[in-house]
Structure 1
Amino acid sequence: MRLYTLPKTDAISDLTLGERDTPRPARGQVLVRMRAASLNYRDLMIVTGNYSRGGVAPDRVPLSDGAGEVVETGEDVTRFNVGDRVAGIFMQNWLGGEVNDSHPGSALGGAVDGVLSEYVLFDQEGLVTLPEHLSFEEGATLPCAAVTAWNALYAGKSPLKAGDSVLLLGTGGVSMFGLQFACAAGARAIQTSSSDDKLARVRELGADDTINYRETPEWQEEVKRLTSGRGVDHVVEVGGAGTLPRSIESSRLGGQVNLIGVLTGGEINPTAIMRKSVLMRGIFVGSREMFEQMNRAITQHQIKPVIDRTFAFDDARAAFEHLESQQHLGKVVITID
Structure 2
Amino acid sequence: MSQAYQIHVLDPSHSHTSPTLLNNLTLNTLPIPVPGPGEVLVRIRAAALNYRDILVVADSPLYTARTSAGLTPCADGAGTIEAVGPNSTWSDSIGEGVLLVNNTDWIDGDVEGYKVHHTLGCGGVQGTLRQYAVVSDEFVVRKPKNLGFEEAAAMVSAGGTAMNALLAGGVGPGKTVLTQGTGGVSCFAILVSTVAVALYAAAMGARVIATSSSDEKLESAKKLGASEVINYKTTPEWSIEALALTDQRGVDVLIDVAGAQTVEQSLQATRQGGTVVMIGFLTESKPSDLVQLLLFGAKTLKGILGNSKVMLEQAVALTEEHDLHPEINVFAWADAKKAFEALRAQNCVGKIVILV
For this structure pair, what is the TM-score category when the shorter chain's length is used for normalisation? over 0.9
2:240 aligned with 1:221: yes
Give 1:3's aligned residue: 4
Give 1:314's aligned residue: 334
TM-score (norm 1): 0.96
CA contact (8 A) 1:63 1:116 kept: yes
Give 1:28's aligned residue: 38
Q: Distance in 2 between matches of 1:328 and 1:247?
A: 23
Q: Distance in 1 between matches of 2:53 and 2:117?
A: 16
2:336 aligned with 1:323: no
CA contact (8 A) 2:105 2:113 kept: no
Give 2:221's aligned residue: 202
The amino acid of 2:57's aligned partner reads: V
Q: How many residues align?
A: 333
Secondary structure, counterpart of 1:141 in structure 2 = helix
Secondary structure, counterpart of 1:190 in structure 2 = strand
Deviation at 1:66, TM superposition (A): 0.5
TM-score (norm 2): 0.91
For residues 264-285 of structure 1, what are the alpha-carbon distances to aligned partners after superposition, in whole Å with 9 as ceiling and x for unaligned?
1222313111121111111111
Q: Distance in 1 between matches of 2:8 and 2:24?
A: 7
CA contact (8 A) 1:91 1:106 kept: yes
Deviation at 1:162, TM superposition (A): 2.8
**Identity in percent:** 38
Which 10-residue stretch deviates more, 87-96 or 132-141?
Answer: 87-96
Which 10-residue stretch deviates more, 35-44 or 198-207?
Answer: 198-207
Give 2:200's aligned residue: none
RMSD of equivalent CA atoms? 1.3
Q: Distance in 2 between matches of 1:223 and 1:63?
A: 34
Structure 1 consecutive aligned stretches of length 4 or more whose deviation exceeds 6 Å: none
2:173 aligned with 1:162: yes
CA contact (8 A) 1:89 1:128 kept: yes
1:107-186 → structure 2 map (5 Å cutoff): 107-111=119-123, 112-154=125-167, 156=168, 158-184=169-195, 185=197, 186=205
The amino acid of 1:82's aligned partner reads: I
1:241-320 → structure 2 map (5 Å cutoff): 241-264=260-283, 265-271=285-291, 272-307=293-328, 309-320=329-340
For residues 77-134 of structure 1, what are the alpha-carbon distances to aligned partners after superposition, in whole Å with 9 as ceiling and x for unaligned?
1145211111111112211111124533420001311010010111111111001111
For residues 261-309 of structure 1, what are the alpha-carbon distances to aligned partners after superposition, in whole Å with 9 as ceiling and x for unaligned?
11112223131111211111111111001111111111111101111x2
Task: For structure 1, list consecutive stretches of 5 or more residues without a partner in the other structure.
Answer: none
Q: Distance in 1 between matches of 2:36 and 2:112?
A: 27
Deviation at 1:194, TM superposition (A): 1.5
CA contact (8 A) 1:238 1:259 kept: yes
Q: Distance in 2 between matches of 1:139 and 1:204?
A: 19
The amino acid of 1:282's aligned partner reads: G
Deviation at 1:201, TM superposition (A): 1.8
Give 1:42's aligned residue: 52
The amino acid of 1:130's aligned partner reads: K
